């Protein structure tokens, strides 16, 4: 019986979380597929880094072609992060007939059309559930069980760093820089927080959501984007007095005439809005469909295991298609 | 090119909502499938009832075999409600090679193993997304994007009637009978509310969730079930003073040793729990997976169009498989 063979690009935090998700749930995954599945090659320079998993050193390579040109490999998982060389690697994998799974929102959002078209041309599947909302299964749901809807609106808290900072400013009355500092100390913000606090990460995710929901690709650089660096303690206090919360919202709304308005910016939401109660580093995506009405999906938008859950979910779906 | 042909059992509220969902989103659904799709026959006695849709009278039949024995029909949608004859009709449809979609939690929960086995034996697909959580795409998500997880727990507010009653008791200080009366006046509770207020409906849904998440079928009659008729104004006041909410929770937890504990009963949840903020007739399902962590799905658990969204989502997925 066929074994599903995977090549993995990158064994950093997310790569390790994905590897670990497969190891800890291997029995269930194999039983779901009815066949074995293995990560057989890994593109990664840092062979000796201490990781919470056991990986045979023979799996490591520093030559991506060892993966792309290996006729035994069915699926390539890209977890390098950053736009390049990740995007070029995904294209090369597809051109060599590999199905591709990624968690990389920056690379997908910057190259959405090219990646989608290359997958079609090469008759391979391209999946990126983990790129929006981490472990929250939002993309597969929009594209699967909700497909009978015309979508009208999406409002997302899709960046955990900024949600954590705004939460601390609200709950503890902190100013922006103290809250950022605390988020950095706790590992919820990076040393260089620009991509998060300026809304760039959220714009990447909105670009992907819009492409899927409205069949309209807008490069993230063309999405009007305001981050949270200008949000003051005083504005938060005013919002609180009005029974509101300030949240960084990635929003796209389809108007009556079919045009779509979109932006990433801090928004004041009433306390009665389901998104206003999403605290700390959690993410949530609120969607309106013309049949289903209002829905919200809530969960961990980042982290090695939640992201690994989404990546392996994509791998399982592709494996099922391969085995059919 | 092939047209997907559907036979519909029942054109009551949910049947009408499903018909309407297809009509209003036909263009998008046809574009998704790349082929046309039509409800060609309808088993329904009440031909003349006023409905918010236009249906040719020629589609109506009162003989189920007109649908089961029609070689042109690919998919049967069962929306009759109640255990019988719904369950027997679904089995007959499968035995005649039809794929089956249903929203009927009572019939699915009472006959889960038989229905699942009959689908396998006859090599047809059997889908029932709308049976739990109405429009909320919970079953397809557990069985799709979340398949890489071992599930640890599910806690669901899966009955809108009881959630509405408990919400009014909490928000307005009403006693149980006044809140029930208001729910009945607003159409959130039926004239005979037994199945809802005694927890029977929630137990049906928990039975289905457990079968899918833990591969363990427990008939709903064997689930320890306590409804909300014994919840007093005073208990609600005590919970409020403790910063808690009382909710009717369908719960299943997998213990360390692999055994599963399950029940439907009123539970006190802290205000910080994501389910405590689910108000009025809304539903929500909270799930823990060993990779993804905590997730919550929120939306409308009932109603003709949300249910129609879930039913048509299943129909689209089956149609894709037929067309492959």
User: Which residues in chain A are closer than 8 Å to B28, comparing Cβ atoms?
Assistant: 150
pLDDT average, residue stretch A57-68 = 97
Q: What does pTM read for this prediction?
A: 0.96
User: Which residues in chain B are closer than 8 Å to A299, comparing Cβ atoms?
Assistant: 292-296
CATH of domain B4-135+304-323: 3.40.50.720
Q: Which fold has domain A147-299?
A: Dihydrodipicolinate Reductase; domain 2 (3.30.360)
Quick: pLDDT tens for A152-205. Answer: 999 999 999 999 999 999 999 999 999 999 999 999 999 999 999 999 999 999
From first CA to last CA, the distance across chain A in angstroms is 13
According to the model, what pLDDT value does residue B324 have?
Answer: 86
Q: Where are the domains of chain B?
A: 4-135+304-323, 141-299
Q: By the 8 A CB rule, do A5 and A73 touch?
A: yes
The string of DSSP codes covering A55-94 is: --GGGEES-THHHHT-TT--EEEE---SSTTHHHHHHHHH
* Angstrom distance (rounded) from CA B293 to CA A308: 11
Percent of chain A, pLDDT > 90?
Answer: 97
Among the listed residues B41, B105, B127, B205, the single catalytic one is B205
Position A1 pLDDT exceeds 80: no
Q: By the 8 A CB rule, do A116 and A140 touch?
A: no
Position A324 pLDDT exceeds 90: no
**Architecture of the domain defined by B141-299:** 2-Layer Sandwich (3.30)
Q: What Rg value do the Cα atoms of chain B yield, rounded?
A: 20
Quick: pLDDT tens for A96-138. Answer: 999 999 999 999 999 999 999 999 999 999 999 999 999 999 9
Residues in chain B where the model's pLDDT stays below 50: none
Phi, psi of A15 (to 5 degrees): -60, -45
Among the listed residues A59, A105, A127, A205, the single catalytic one is A205
* Angstrom distance (rounded) from CA B150 to CA A220: 35
User: Which residues in chain B are closer than 8 Å to A157, comparing Cβ atoms?
Assistant: none
- The pLDDT mean for chain A works out to 96
Closest Cα in chain A, distance from residue B312 (Å): 6
Contact A292 B306 (CB under 8 A): yes
Extended strands (E) in chain B: 4-9, 37-43, 60-61, 75-78, 99-102, 126-127, 151-157, 244-254, 260-270, 282-289, 293-300
pLDDT average, residue stretch A24-42 = 96
Is A205 an annotated catalytic residue? yes
DSSP state of B58: G
| Paired sense of beta strands A151-157 and A75-78, if any | unpaired
Contact A135 B277 (CB under 8 A): no
């Amino acid at each position: 019986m066929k074994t599903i063979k995977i090549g993995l690009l990158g064994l950093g935090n997310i790569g390790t979380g994905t590897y670990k998700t497969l190891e800890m749930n291997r029995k269930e995954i194999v039983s779901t597929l009815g066949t074995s599945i293995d990560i057989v090659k890994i593109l990664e320079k840092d062979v000796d880094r201490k990781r919470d998993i056991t990986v045979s050193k023979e799996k490591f390579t520093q030559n991506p072609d060892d993966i792309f040109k290996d006729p035994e490999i069915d699926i390539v998982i890209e977890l390098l992060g950053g736009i390049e060389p990740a995007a070029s690697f995904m294209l090369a994998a597809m051109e060599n007939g590999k199905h591709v799974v990624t968690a990389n929102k920056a690379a997908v959002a910057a190259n959405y059309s090219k990646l989608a078209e290359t997958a079609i041309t090469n008759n391979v599947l391209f999946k990126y559930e983990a790129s929006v909302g981490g472990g929250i299964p939002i993309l597969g749901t929009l594209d699967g069980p909700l497909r009978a809807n015309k979508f009208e609106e999406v409002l997302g808290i899709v960046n955990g760093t900024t949600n954590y900072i705004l939460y601390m400013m609200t709950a503890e009355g902190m100013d922006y820089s103290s809250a950022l500092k605390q988020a950095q100390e706790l590992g919820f913000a990076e040393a260089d927080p620009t991509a998060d606090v300026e809304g760039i990460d959220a714009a990447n995710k909105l670009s992907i959501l819009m492409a899927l929901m409205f069949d309209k690709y807008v490069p993230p650089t063309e999405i009007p984007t305001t981050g949270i660096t200008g949000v003051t303690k005083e504005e938060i206090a005013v919002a609180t007095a009005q029974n509101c919360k300030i949240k960084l919202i990635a929003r796209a709304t389809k108007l009556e005439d079919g045009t779509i308005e979109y932006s990433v910016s801090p928004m004041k939401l009433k306390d009665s809005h389901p998104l206003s109660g999403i605290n700390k580093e959690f993410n949530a995506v609120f969607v309106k469909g013309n049949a289903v009405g209002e829905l919200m999906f809530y969960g961990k938008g980042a982290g090695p295991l939640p992201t690994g859950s989404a990546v392996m979910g994509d791998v399982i779906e592709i494996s099922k298609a391969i085995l059919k």
